[in-house]
Amino acid sequence: MKRKFIIMLTAALFLTGCSSNNEQKAVTSETSEHTEERDITFEKAEKEEKNHQIDLSNLQDTLSQFETVVNIEYAGKDRLLVITDQMYLIDITSGKILAQSSDCNYVRGKIKVYGNDENIIIVGKEESESEDTFVFYDENDEEQPRVLVLYYDKQLNLSKKINVFEMFALNPFATTCVAVRTDGKLAVYDDNSNGLYLCNPDTKEKEEILCGKDKELVYDNKFQFQIANGIAFGENDGKIIFGAACLDYPSEYGEESITGYGSVTLDGKELYVEKAVDEYNIMDFFPEFAIISQDCGFTSPTGKVMKYSFSGNNTEVIQLKSQKESNNLYSSSEGNILASSEENENMGWNIRFYNTNSGELIEEQAYNALSSESYRSPKIYVFENQNIAVLYFGSLEENEKDVLYVMKL
pLDDT digits (tens, 9 = 90+) for 65-102: 999 999 999 999 899 999 999 999 999 999 999 999 99
The beta strand positions in 37-146, using DSSP E, are: 71-74, 79-83, 87-91, 97-101, 112-115, 119-125
Confidence of residue 345 (pLDDT cuts 50, 70, 90): confident
Alpha-carbon gap, residue 7 to 147, rounded angstroms: 104
Q: What integer pLDDT is reported at residue 256 of this predicted model?
A: 87
Q: What integer pLDDT is reported at residue 281 of this predicted model?
A: 81
Q: What integer pLDDT is reported at residue 192 of this predicted model?
A: 87
Q: What integer pLDDT is reported at residue 52 of this predicted model?
A: 47
Quote the pTM value: 0.83
Residue 11: DSSP 8-state:
H
In the sheet that 205-211 helps form, which strands lie side by side, from edge to edge? 178-180, 186-190, 195-200, 205-211
Residue 46 pLDDT greater than 60, yes or no: no
Residue 50 pLDDT greater than 70, yes or no: no
Check if the beta carbon of residue 156 is closer than 8 Å to that of residue 90: no
Q: What integer pLDDT is reported at residue 108 of this predicted model?
A: 83
Provide the 10 A C-beta neighbour count for residue 91: 18
Please state the rounded mean pLDDT for residues 229-242: 95
Confidence of residue 25 (pLDDT cuts 50, 70, 90): very low
Question: What fold characterizes domain 69-168?
Answer: Thrombin, subunit H (2.40.10)
Check if the beta carbon of residue 230 is closer than 8 Å to that of residue 283: yes
Identify the helix (H) or strand (E) that includes residue 15. helix 2-64
Q: What is the mean pLDDT of the chain?
A: 85
Q: What integer pLDDT is reported at residue 45 of this predicted model?
A: 45
Q: Phi/psi of residue 260, each to 5°?
A: -145, -170
Using a pLDDT cut of 90, give the percent of the chain over it. 65
Alpha-carbon gap, residue 379 to 396, rounded angstroms: 14
Where residue 245 falls (left for φ over 0; alpha for ψ -120 to 50; beta otherwise) is: beta
Residue 35 pLDDT greater than 90, yes or no: no
Confidence of residue 303 (pLDDT cuts 50, 70, 90): very high
Residue 123 pLDDT greater than 80, yes or no: yes
Asked if omega into 145 is within 30° of 0 (cis), the reply is no
- The 3-state DSSP class for residue 366 equals strand
